[in-house]
Chain A
Amino acid sequence: MEKILQVKDLELSFNTFGGEVKAIRGVNFDLYKGETLAIVGESGSGKSVTTKSIMRLLPESSAEFKNGEILFGGRDLTKLSDKEMQKIRGKDISMIFQDPMTSLNPTMPIGRQITEPLLKHQKISKSEARKVAIDLLRLVGMPKPELRMKQYPHQFSGGQRQRIVIAISLACNPQVLIADEPTTALDVTIQAQILELMKDLQKKIDTSIIFITHDLGVVANVADRVAVMYGGKIVEIGTVDEIFYNPQHPYTWGLLSSMPSLDTEDAKLYAIPGTPPDLLDPPKGDAFALRSEYAMKIDMEMDPPFFKISDTHMAATWLLHPDAPQVEPPLSVIERMKKFPGSRYYEGSAN
């Protein structure tokens, strides 16, 4: 498969009054053409920062690339000038934000907000851009698009606004679409509609999507592959099935166990103990060790490398080292693994 975007050894820090916050500490991933890669993790794990750094939308005054590269179309995005970056933003890579209530300009008619990237990146006249914008609105399921072009954001509901933001992001048929928790601020029924819409549109224009979320239910619904982030690093990456049914990293176990399900017998919800690491002073060794009941001595001393589980599946935990003792994952995870061919708990096909 063709690689559209490659993130290699990316390290990024914020210079703050308190010191250097190491927000991204060596992130590697590839994005393939036409796929949806979900990045999951709790708040502060670095998932938004990673994607904003791809778009170079972080404040230049405080955010600083320390190492690594972001390869897109043969160019390293970390080294481009502002002018060159402006030509890529909105045209080749575009972005959808979390809160549709605040991501549209309140004093500009939505028609102008949709035609803006078209007029900016494509050589078309205003009337042509208007036609394209109306088509885009129709594409994202907005009724009476001609009439609505002149209206302002406050005249739309939250779900409609997110549709408009999606229309803006798709205006120039981008190769990469970054969706930063696009459904978090919406209520559940609207969430489902927006997810369906994104899946539909992805097929139509064949774009690759990086989907950031902390909602594993959404991940299962949209993603082809999943990267789990913790403490500024990816700790496990694999296909959806691999992450959901054959997870290897204790943090992924924790995430999956804390997901409520209908057949959870006791009504108690599981929560991962402790708090995320302080990235002003990241811990030595495995950042998750202090919260993990599976931590070993080496976790406190050395950062685990990636161990390969399959061609598509990797996890950074010492538990996968040949010398490591066999541990039992939580019960709910074992239940999941029973359904995955190739896992050590596999019970055969259920026929």
Chain B
Amino acid sequence: MARYIGKRIIYMVITLALIATFTFFLMKILPGSPIASADKLSPEQRAVVEARYGLDDPLPVQYFNYMFGLVQGDLGISINQFKGADVTDVILSRMGPSAQIGFQGMLLGTVLGILLGMIAALRQNTWVDYSSTIVAIIGISIPSFVFASMLQYFLGLKLGWFPVALWKDGFMSSVLPSIALAMFPLATAARFIRTEMIEVLSSDYITLAKAKGASGSEIAFKHAFRNALIPLITVLGPMAVGILTGSLVVEQIFAIPGIGEQFVKSIMVSDFSIIMGTTIFFSVFLILVILIVDIMYGIIDPRIRLSGGKS
């Protein structure tokens, strides 16, 4: 197991290096300059500013400087969005709200989604099943920003249960954005669990469990549930991506000072080092999720043994 994880970490580092390289050169191809109101500066002034951030070096030199800093854990300094601030500090200070709504959204979404999918499968072809399918279709087809606005309007403005936006009331502020983010994982989990439960429930070992005298609930929870979970783990990765991309929009709408909101702004103002830093941060997060997913496979499904583990 330790050997397996070690191997995976080496692959992770290679993946990250590739992502950093691609992002770096893509950034350089993009038009626009991180130096605000660059047009109004005289060529001399411009040269001074560029020299300060090392933007006048030849491209390969800039690339190697950046990668060298990256290896040492230095993501550089913000050029214009948070003038002069260390990128690592910027990301860390904004991680809290993002992590909170992301985690809450994911948890709420998967738990409710699993419940919904289970109920739908156990009450197959009844109104319960059909309504769960409708919820799943809505959750997948309506983008999170539409939900976000609807939640703001109804629960925030009309009913006044939760603050409409901003990050001032602690947990209460996190409720609406978490719900908006939860819709995608909820719909995905519900769909997957329903399909898989129906298949598992018709398998031979469920008939054998019935033949042993197991009751309906024992069959559903002791025998079917764990087997139905296996394919859901596969989509945990894409679900985490959904939460991430969702957060870019949702944080913007709810004016939450999180990473997503800051990422969007940094792109608008071409703050080169912030964009790079955030991309790398997101990549690390996703690669870690994928690693966790692979390890969870082995825990839930005994047939999948990670190489290097006990046979």
Contact = CB atoms under 8 A, between A and B. Distances in A.
Interface of A: 55, 57, 82-83, 86-91, 94-95, 97, 99, 102-108, 116-117, 120-121, 152, 154, 165, 168-169
Contacts of B213: 86-91, 117, 120-121
B26 interface: no
Nearest to B205: A105
Interface stretch (B40-48, B137-145, B272-280, B296-304): B296-304
A95 B213 CA distance: 11
Interface string B188-219: 00000000000000011101111111111000
Contacts of A88: 213
Given A105-B205, A106-B205, A90 B302 contact: no
Given A89-B213, A121-B213, A107 B207 contact: no
Contact of B300 (A83, A90, A107, A168): A107
Contacts of B211: 55, 57, 89-90, 94-95, 97, 169
A152 B226 CA distance: 14
Contacts of A86: 213-215
A105 B302 contact: no
B210 A57 contact: yes
A99 B205 CA distance: 10
Contacts, number: 74
B207 A105 contact: no
Given A107-B226, A107-B300, 10 more contacts: A82-B216, A86-B214, A87-B213, A94-B212, A102-B203, A104-B208, A106-B302, A108-B223, A152-B302, A168-B208
Contacts of A97: 204, 207-208, 211
A99 B303 CA distance: 18
A168 B223 CA distance: 15
A63 B213 CA distance: 19
B268 to A, nearest CB: 49
Nearest to A95: B211
Contacts of A94: 211-212
Contacts of A89: 210-213
Contact of A106 (B208, B210, B303): B303
B301 to A, nearest CB: 6
B208 A103 contact: yes
B62 interface: no
Contacts of A116: 209, 212, 214
Interface in B261-302: 300-302
Contacts of B210: 57, 89
A117 B205 contact: no
B122 to A, nearest CB: 13
B104 interface: no
Contact of A102 (B205, B222, B301): B205
B204 A106 contact: no
A105 B223 contact: yes
Given A86-B214, A86-B215, A97-B204, A105 B300 contact: no
